[in-house]
Amino acid sequence: MKTIRVEWNALLLASALLTSVAVQAQTETPASTPTVPRVIGTINDTPATTVGSQTGATASADSLPDAQLDRAVAALEKGDKAASAQALQSGIAAVEAEAKAKPSSFKDKILGQVGKLKTLLPLITGGGLGSGVLGNAVGLTKLASGAGRLENLMSAGSLIGKASQLTSGLNGLSSAMSVLGGGASAGQSLVSTALAGVGKLNQGGMVAKAAEPAVKNQIGSVLNFVKGAL
């Protein structure tokens, strides 16, 4: 009987040990499993957000060369000659590069106006240049470069679907025409006519198709006026 009792106690002890080991294994294993996807998910999400925000910031920093030229005039009006010279130098380089990279029939006129700006550049730091003179030269440069961009847009194919770009370009030319003094009114009248036609391009369908040839002629008249004025 003692032998049977000892054997029975040994069996109970072994069974208890096996149960304890099994429970411990079940407790430890799931604890480590969910930590893997959490760590991976956190790492993957962070770079995606960072890259997206950096890309957006870069795109919003882009601007036309005209913006640099305007900054040069504004800085000179405030008496900041160093900032004016720096902005003018940057604007000159950008306008010149654009004219050569995207040539139009206005290329020579653009480069001619750029040449005039280059002669004014050393006068800024020397104190012999007023903001009025610089503003007039910048206005003529913007008139030439804006006409070149508009011509390139015209030659890129159908104008349907490009109403916003055409409107922006025409408004820019109308603003730049102010440097022409009394001669500006004729050109601005042509711009107004063209803008009225451009509005029809937004209507789509047959209306837009019917309006497109007239709009091309109207914008062509604006560009011819600019060529004559320059």
Tell me the per-residue pLDDT of 104-155, one tens digit each, with 9 for 90 and over: 999 999 999 999 999 999 999 888 899 999 999 999 999 999 999 999 999 9
Burial degree of 104 (CB within 10 A; 0-12, 13-18, 19+):
buried
Read off the pLDDT of each residue in 2-28 and give the average, rounded to a whole number. Answer: 42
Q: To the nearest whole number, what is the mean pLDDT of the chain?
A: 78
Out of 12-16, 148-152, 175-179, 218-222, which region has the weakest mean confidence (pLDDT)?
Answer: 12-16
Instruction: Tell me the range of 13-22, 45-54, 173-182 where mean pLDDT is highest.
Output: 173-182
- What residue ranges do the domains of the chain occupy? 63-156, 157-230
pLDDT the model gives residue 5: 46
In contact, 133 and 117? CB cutoff 8 Å: no
pTM above 0.85, yes or no: no
Q: Which has the higher per-residue pLDDT, 21 or 181?
A: 181
DSSP letter for each residue of 34-69:
THHHHHHHHHHHHHHHHHHHHHHHHHHH---HHHHH
pLDDT of residue 63: 57
| Structure-derived torsion over alpha carbons of residues 142, 147, 150, 156, reported in degrees to the nearest 10 | -130
What distance in Å separates the CA atoms of residue 102 and residue 108, rounded to the nearest whole number?
Answer: 12
